[in-house]
Amino acid sequence: MRVALHLTWTLLLVLTASRAHAQQPQVPATTAYSVFLRGVPVGTENASVTTDAAGTTIRSEGRFGPPLNITLRSAEIRYSADWSPIAASADASFNGNDATIRTSFQNGVAATQGTDRGEPVAQSQPAAGKPVVLPAAVFSSYAALARRLATDPPGTELRVLIPLQNEFGVRVTSVQTEQAQVGTEVFAVRRYELIFNQPGGDLPVSLVATTNGDLIRLAIPSQTLEVIRSDVASPTSRTGVFSNPGDEAVIIPLEGFNLGATITRPRNAAAARLPAVVLLGAAGVNDRDGVVSGVPTLGQLAGALADAGFIAVRFDKRGYGQSGGRSESSTLSDHAEDARAVAKWLTDRQDVDPRRLAVAGYGEGSMVALLAASRDRRFGAIVSIAGPSTTGAEQFIEQQQLVLEASTLPEAEKAKRLALQRQVQQAVATGKGWEGVPVNVRRDADTPWFQSLLAYDPAKVLGDVRQPLLVVHGEIDRQIPVAHADRLATLAREKSKSKSIDIVIVRGVNHLLVPAVTGSTSEYGTLTDRNVSKDVTRAVTDWLTRMLPASAR
């Protein structure tokens, strides 16, 4: 299937589900899955999984519009009872070009034959052991990986084979037991954080499945790809629920749509009206719990705030989870307006003291927090956690440089990629200079969100900030280096009208806000402690307690 060879990993990663466990919501024999790129739905795959004494068979068909342009007329993958692959086949068209392949497995060899645009295709490749077979663009093939993750003994080395391409290992870096919610029904799921050791470099993948291995959701943050069981993708559902004592699911009405949110109240609140904090998450982290590499940053911050006597609110970003609105057209300014709407909703509640309201943002959320507070005096205090101090344009160049410095690419290739990054950013800002930029790169970059991010300038925003500001940063943050904390605090003292600027640097803490050794992103998969550092939460709660005392009425 030569056409498929040109597909990126974005087009390869997929999932499906089989019959649910008796204690789980019943999954129909044929299940629909929605595929999203940058939050925009691009197609649906209908899949079924059948298991009997002979083994497991996965069948599916689907259709995907631009930019994928794939019609999957039929696909089938068969495994024996011990998960040895038997055969795989797919009949599809890519951009109107037909392709059909059939792969058989025997004596440690995968033999693939078929046609592509009328031309014959034939290739053999090693297939040792019991690899999970992932034919290109057959999205349902990940059902087998989900089952293997649920049933194989801990420590089992999993392998993946892509017909006509290559074979590589899959490493499990963490397993978290969580919950999924469909309507009002909540059921247990497991979130697997995986590393695909593909030849071109490691690829982080997050996979959510029921406890018996039925796939619910798969996400590849670097590719902005999500494949979600359609009932879970509905506005009344979400996955990855992080639970605190005192959590309550709520719907917050905005103009034209609602936000799905969780409000966390102290368990033994003595006062009738309590201080409240609006929590805002990082870029590309759209669920209300703010899960980053297995760490529910916002969920754990909410729990710490509630323990300190605050009401905390976290919500799904617009167009995701249980929130309405359109994600593909949203900007930093839109997210700031959403935070303001949540603040208004809080001040109308009888259990909230409207004079003691704060906003706390993590990563990109710190930028949104400053924007919201610069426009709304309802916020009496601001907390920036792991936030940048430069313009969005400067921030992206810096992050690209950090990634390239850690890579083993030749210097010429590093320079080429950095030049492309600068060209793309200039083109996004001016609308000119797209010549030579790959189509997929332009598609991903030329968006309202990225335009607003590049235009963000903290110096201008801070000019309208009057509230007390706390800057919290991990000492060994390698994604947004700790030098940003000092620069942001200095900029706030120079530009803002605030009379209180404080800074806390937390030793031994990385960008995920958890204890680490080096702080590098390559270390994330090996971390055993995935709890936000108590030094971080204590810095936030102690400062907010001082800034929003009970006497402030």
pLDDT tens for each residue of 470-502: 999 999 999 999 999 999 999 999 999 999 999
Banded model confidence at residue 174, pLDDT cuts 50, 70, 90: confident
Angle at 537 between CA 501 and CA 254, to 5 degrees: 80
Q: Which of 136, 545, 133, 123 is nearest to 308 (CA)?
A: 545
Amino acid at 27: V
Across the chain, mean pLDDT equals 86
Rounded Cα distance, 261 and 315, in Å: 4
* Residue 31's pLDDT band (cuts 50, 70, 90): confident
**413-464 per-position pLDDT tens digit:** 889 889 988 999 999 999 999 998 887 778 778 889 889 999 999 999 999 9
68-91 pLDDT per residue, tens: 889 999 999 999 999 999 999 999
- Which pLDDT score, from 0 to 100, does residue 237 have? 59
pLDDT at 315: 95
In order of start, what are the domains of the chain with their CATH numbers? 2-237 (no CATH), 242-390+457-547 (3.40.50.1820), 393-450 (no CATH)
CA distance 430 to 421: 14
DSSP 8-state symbol, 499: S
Mean local confidence (pLDDT), 315-322? 87
> Does residue 294 or residue 213 have the better pLDDT?
213
Return d(Cα 127, Cα 109) in angstroms, integer.
Answer: 5
pTM over 0.85: no
Q: Which of 180, 179, 344, 191 is nearest to 259 (CA)?
A: 344
Q: Is 221 exposed, middle or buried (0-12, 13-18, 19+ CB in 10 A)?
A: middle
> What pLDDT is attached to residue 12?
33
- Residue 39's pLDDT is 65
- Whether 332 has a pLDDT exceeding 70, the answer reads yes
**pLDDT at residue 179, as a whole number:** 73
- Name the DSSP class of 514: S
Decide if pLDDT at 25 tops 60.
no
202 pLDDT band (50/70/90 cuts)?
Answer: confident
